[in-house]
A = this chain, B = another copy of it.
Amino acid sequence: MPVKNRLRVLRAEREWSQQDLAERLEVSRQSVNAIETGKYDPSLPLAFRIADVFDLAIEEIFLRDAG
């Protein structure tokens, strides 16, 4: 039921560290790391903020997991 995401790739394309992204999202670095490593999914409001900073649709970043 969890959701896969392309955060690591999108971040690499922009050469942002986890810290950089965390600051843009106004969350802790640990939250960014946890989302990237699949420990948990972001909340919907955070998913929207992530979509905003990457200027993409939520569906372009987060993908329904097979299962």
Residues of A within 8 A of B (CB): 1-3, 41-45, 47-48, 52, 57-59, 62, 64
Closest B residue to A42 using CB positions:
B44
For residue A26, give the distance in angstroms from its CB to the closest CB of chain B.
Answer: 10
Contact with A62, one of B2, B3, B44, B52 (Cβ below 8 angstroms):
B44
Closest B residue to A1 using CB positions:
B45
Number of copies: 2
11 contacts between A and B (CB under 8 A): A1-B45, A2-B45, A41-B45, A43-B43, A43-B44, A44-B44, A44-B47, A52-B64, A57-B59, A58-B58, A59-B59
Contact with A48, one of B3, B43, B57 (Cβ below 8 angstroms):
B3
